[in-house]
C-alpha cells in the first residue's frame, strides 16, 4: 500500500517521493490518518476502505470550494487515489496546536467573512456529501425551513428508524421543525458544516479548519455547533460578532440546529446520544 502511495505521489509531484518517515496521527473517529515524508516534503494522508472513495471525493471538492472563497485556511488537496482495498486522500501537512485566545478571535473573524462570501440565493449544494460517514443530502431549495426540516432532521430521523432508534412520528417532528423556522429566511452562507473544536487548529500560517461537510445554509448552523461540544474560546465569538453580528433569535434556534448533529451521533456511534436528542425534541418541537 505505501509503495503504491509513494508511486502515485511521485507522479503528482513530478519527482521521486520515497516514504522514509511515517507517523500515525491519532484523534479521528472515521479514518486512519498518517503524516508521511521523504526528508524534503511532508503530507497528511487519510485512509479508509476502498468503497469509501466517494467520501474523499466530496471532501476534496468541498476543500476546493472553501479554498476558492479564500476567507479561512483549509488543507490543500494534492491527490485522491486507491490501492488494493484502500482509498486515500492526500493533503498538505502542517504541525498544529490548539486554538488560543488570539487565534480564536482571528478565526471568528475569518468564519464571519466566509459566511458573508458569495451570492448564492438557494440552500443546498451542487452534490450530496457526507457528515462523518453519514450521507448528507443537499438538494437545492429556496426556503430554508423546508431544506433544514426535510434534508437535515427528517433525513437523520429516517436513518435512526432504520437502526431501531425511535423518537416519535417523523412527519410530526419534521412539520414542527419547519414551523419553528417558517419566519426565518436567512441569507445562504457557505458553511463548514461540521465545525466542532476537533476540526480546528492553529498552524504557523494561522487558524485552519478541516474535515468539512460543506453546503450553503444558515450561518447559525456553524456557530451553533461550535457551542455543542465546547472548546472554542470566548474570543472566537467576539471576533465573529465584530464582523457579522448574529441575528436576533439565534439563542432560540441553536439547539434546533444542533439536533441534526446529535441525531447524526446517534447514527454513527449508537444510542448513547438518544437521551440528549429526546430532550431537545421534547423541549423544542413537541411543546404546545
- Single out the residue of 208, 169, 199 nearest to residue 76, CA to CA: 208
Provide the annotated active-site residues.
Answer: 194
Cβ burial of 144 (10 Å; 0-12, 13-18, 19+) is buried
Cell numbers placing 22: 511515517
CB atoms within 10 A of CB 226: 23
CB atoms within 10 A of CB 119: 6
**For residue 226, what are the CA distances in angstroms to 29, 191, 199, 223, 263?**
18, 12, 10, 5, 16
Amino acid at each position: 500500500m505505501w509503495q503504491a502511495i509513494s508511486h502515485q505521489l511521485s507522479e503528482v509531484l513530478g519527482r521521486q517521493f520515497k516514504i522514509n518517515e511515517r507517523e500515525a496521527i491519532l484523534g479521528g473517529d472515521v479514518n486512519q490518518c498518517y503524516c508521511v515524508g521523504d526528508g524534503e516534503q511532508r503530507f497528511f494522508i487519510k485512509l479508509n476502505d476502498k468503497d469509501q472513495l466517494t467520501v474523499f471525493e466530496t471532501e476534496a471538492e468541498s476543500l476546493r470550494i472553501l479554498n476558492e472563497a479564500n476567507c479561512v485556511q483549509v488543507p490543500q488537496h494534492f491527490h485522491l487515489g486507491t490501492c488494493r482495498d484502500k482509498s486515500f486522500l492526500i493533503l498538505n501537512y502542517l504541525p498544529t496546536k490548539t486554538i488560543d485566545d488570539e487565534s480564536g478571535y482571528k478565526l471568528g473573524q475569518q468564519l464571519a467573512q466566509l459566511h458573508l462570501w458569495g451570492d448564492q440565493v438557494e440552500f443546498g449544494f451542487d452534490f450530496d456529501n457526507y457528515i462523518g460517514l453519514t450521507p448528507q443530502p443537499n438538494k437545492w431549495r429556496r426556503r430554508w425551513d423546508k431544506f433544514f426540516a426535510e434534508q437535515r432532521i427528517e433525513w437523520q430521523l429516517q436513518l435512526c428508524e432504520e437502526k431501531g432508534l425511535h423518537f416519535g412520528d417523523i412527519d410530526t417532528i419534521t412539520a414542527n421543525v419547519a414551523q419553528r423556522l417558517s419566519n426565518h429566511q436567512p441569507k445562504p452562507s457557505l458553511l463548514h458544516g461540521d465545525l466542532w473544536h476537533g476540526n480546528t487548529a492553529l498552524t504557523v500560517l494561522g487558524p485552519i479548519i478541516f474535515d468539512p461537510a460543506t453546503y450553503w445554509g444558515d450561518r447559525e448552523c456553524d456557530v451553533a455547533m461550535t457551542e455543542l461540544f465546547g472548546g472554542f474560546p470566548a474570543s472566537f465569538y467576539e471576533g465573529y460578532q465584530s464582523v457579522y453580528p448574529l441575528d436576533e433569535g439565534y439563542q432560540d434556534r441553536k439547539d434546533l440546529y444542533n439536533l441534526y448533529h446529535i441525531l447524526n451521533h446517534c447514527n454513527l456511534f449508537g444510542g448513547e446520544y438518544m437521551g440528549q436528542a429526546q430532550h431537545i425534541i421534547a423541549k423544542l418541537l413537541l411543546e404546545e
